[in-house]
Structure 1
Amino acid sequence: MNWADFSASEPDLAKTVEDRFGAFTHHTLATLRKDGSPRTTGLEVRFLNGELWLGMMPNSLKALDLRRDPRFALQANPGEGQSMGGGDVRISGRAIEVDDPEVKAGYTEEVEPPEPLHLFRTELTEVVRTYIEDDRYLVVQVWKPGEPTRTLKRT
């Protein structure tokens, strides 16, 4: 399921997630190394034309990780201090490399990244938002494809 499908099924959560990622430029991407251990790196993300895009420098380790194993986790930058406006937001899924020159040209027209680049579109497997409500409740919203969003509250 791509970003447009998620947005259509859960528009309020999708808007919150986009706003959270839009608050800062750099976020944290987790990939899997060749030996299966995790790698975390910084990354800029873009929501364009119904897709969540991951663009990377040529032959960067994170790009090579995703070519080998497309699973990823992406966490929005929490910002400075403890404000976490909008809460903590994480997206998991699979990154599919796009080699189509027309698609890449459309992306680079909108974003103007340095070229050449590795460009990945994403297929979502989970979106999670965690936040504090009324200074009392820890609220966790969990969305998975084909399921309604679950909301869990704890005091």
Structure 2
Amino acid sequence: MTTSWQEFEKVAPRIAEIFRRRHAATGNLCFLGTLRPDGFPRICPMEPRFFEDRLWLVGMPDTAKFRDLERDPRFTLHTATVDTQVSDGDAKVWGTVEDVQDEDLHARFADHLFAETGLDLRGRRFDRFLGARLVGASAVEVSGGHLDVTVWRAGGQEKVVRKH
């Protein structure tokens, strides 16, 4: 069972809020985990985008991370932080990607990206346009001398575990 971002926000609002807040705070920077052909993990920086209520893993085509996802669609995406105290929280999501080939969607995305960042991909064909389908997520928050770990699995609701 997998879940779209829009569905995820409904069943795991705390994790979704932390993920979105940390994503925005770092200029959209996250770390993408994929599996190399030899089975070892690969971690790469990337700037996933929210568009039309979905999380998209987009970037420079024909890179190792996208070849990994073409071969094995499983991924993890972790918000970037340099705060060892995690005072603003931290979140990660994981699941699979699906390649969405829809020229109208691609055109709307390119228009939105240009308006938001000035990066002009308008009129280009997207060989891969990867939408995230989530199967799990977690977030941590530190406050009042305790650590709250919020976890979620597809098909369920988020649960908070407090550690003192």
TM value normalised by structure 1: 0.89
1:147 aligns with 2:156: yes
Percent identity at matched positions?
Answer: 28
Q: Which amino acid aligns with 1:63?
A: F
Aligned length: 153
Deviations 1:87-124 (A, max 9, x none): 11101010112222111111111113454553210000
Alignment of 1:2-151 (within 5 A): 2-25=4-27, 26-78=29-81, 80-82=82-84, 84-112=86-114, 113=119, 115=121, 117=126, 118-134=128-144, 136-151=145-160
Comparing 26-35 with 111-120, which one deviates more in the overlay?
111-120
Comparing 97-106 with 62-71, which one deviates more in the overlay?
97-106
- Does the residue aligned with 2:86 lie in a helix, a strand or coil? coil
TM value normalised by structure 2: 0.85
| Structure-2 separation of matches of 1:84 and 1:50 | 27
Q: Which runs of 4+ in 1 moved over 4 A?
A: 113-117
- Whether contact under 8 Å (1:18, 1:47) holds in the other structure is no
Once superposed, what is the RMSD of the aligned Cα atoms? 1.7
| Structure-1 separation of matches of 2:137 and 2:52 | 19
| Structure-1 separation of matches of 2:142 and 2:51 | 29
| Structure-1 separation of matches of 2:37 and 2:22 | 31
Deviations 1:99-155 (A, max 9, x none): 221111111111134545532100001110012121x21210001111121111111
- Does the residue aligned with 1:56 lie in a helix, a strand or coil? coil
Structure 1: runs of 5 or more not aligned: none
| Structure-2 separation of matches of 1:81 and 1:63 | 29
- Whether contact under 8 Å (1:126, 1:145) holds in the other structure is yes
Give, in angstroms, the shift of residue 9 of structure 1: 2.3
By relative contact order (CA 8 Å, sep 6+), the higher-ranking structure is 2
- Whether contact under 8 Å (1:29, 1:73) holds in the other structure is yes
| Structure-2 separation of matches of 1:142 and 1:81 | 21
